[in-house]
Amino acid sequence: MLKVEHIGIAIKELKVSIPLFEKLLNSSCYKTEEVTGEKVRTAFFATGETKIELLESTDPDGVIAKFIAKKGEGIHHIAFEVADIAAEMKRLVAEGFELLNPVPKPGADNKLVCFLHPKGTNGILVELCQDASLKHNP
C-alpha cells in the first residue's frame, strides 16, 4: 500500500457539512460528485497528501444512510492507495481477508475501488483504491 489516500466520513447533509469542513480544514471543497452505484454524493477536501471525503446518502436504504442510523455521523472508512488493485486484492485474499466486492468497481474521484469486510479488520471498513486511468487486471 502506498499511502492513506483518503478518510471517508459519513454525514447527513453536504450543504451543512461542506461549510463546516471548509472552516475546520481552512480549505475549500475542490470537488463534489454523485456515485450512483454506491447511492452517495461526495465532497472532497485536500489535506496534504491525504484527502477527506464526505459521504451523503442519496437513498434512505443506502449504505451511508444505514451507517448513520446505526452509528451516527462519523468516520466511515479509511482508503489506501495501491499501485495494482488486482494484485493487492489477490494478496489480501491469500492473507485471509474477505473482500466485499470480488472485482474492482468504479468509485468517486476517478478511482477503482474494493472494500475489505470489517469483520476481518477489527471493525474498520478498509478501501483499496487505484487511479482508474492506470492499467489493472481484474
* Structural domains of the chain, with CATH: 3-131 (3.10.180.10)
The confidence score (pLDDT) of residue 82 equals: 97
Say how far apart CA 133 and CA 111 lie, in whole Å. 8
The vertex-55 CA angle with 54 and 57, nearest 5°, equals 155
Each residue's pLDDT tens digit, 7-40 = 999 999 999 999 999 999 999 999 999 999 999 9
Query: How would you class 62 by CB atoms within 10 Å of its CB: exposed for 0-12, middle for 13-18, buried for 19 or more?
Result: middle
pTM reported for the whole predicted model = 0.92
Each residue's pLDDT tens digit, 77-98 = 999 999 999 999 999 999 999 9
State the average pLDDT over residues 95-108.
96
